[in-house]
Amino acid sequence: MSDPGRPNGGDPQSGDPRREGGVSTATRREVARPPRYKVILYNDDYTPMEFVVAVLEQIFNKGPSEATAIMLAVHKSGLGVAGVYVLDVAETKVAQVHGAAEQRGYPLRAGVEKE
Ligand code: TYC
């Protein structure tokens, strides 16, 4: 007899999405994990490095050394991940980056990409 108090009757081989090839079949009580989105920062030739570091600290809550490392990675490679969030938070962060950059007259751009 299956245990109604446990997903999939308590079968230890099922109920774990890591063992199901990512496809949910049985009725589940657990709420699905919402998809996550990367906020991408793009390099440009005009935005000052200190401004990008300040954006990473203030909008993406990075500490000074991580903010500097991300900024330098974007500067060298052309783009980089500022953070990973649910979609509405990611879109808000992008709007905050664009608002702060436009206020200062810098061309800094950001975008959202599904993880
Ligand atoms: N390339 C810019 C400079 O040399 C710095 C920069 C880094 C700009 C990261 C944008 O997302 C960026 N001043």
Task: Express each pLDDT in 89-109 by its tens digit.
Answer: 999 999 999 999 999 999 999
pTM listed for this prediction: 0.78
49 lines ligand 1 (CB under 6 A): yes
Among residues 48, 72, 68, 43, the alpha carbon closest in space to that of 57 is found at: 68
| Ligand 1 centre distance from Cα of residue 97 (Å) | 13
**Span 36-114: which CATH code?**
3.30.1390.10
Among residues 24, 47, 60, 59, the alpha carbon closest in space to that of 106 is found at: 47
Question: 30-88, pLDDT tens digit by residue?
Answer: 889 999 999 999 999 999 999 999 999 999 999 999 999 999 999 999 999 999 999 99
43 lines ligand 1 (CB under 6 A): yes
Shortest-distance atom of ligand 1 to CA 49: 5
Helix (H, G, I), strand (E, B) or coil at 85: strand
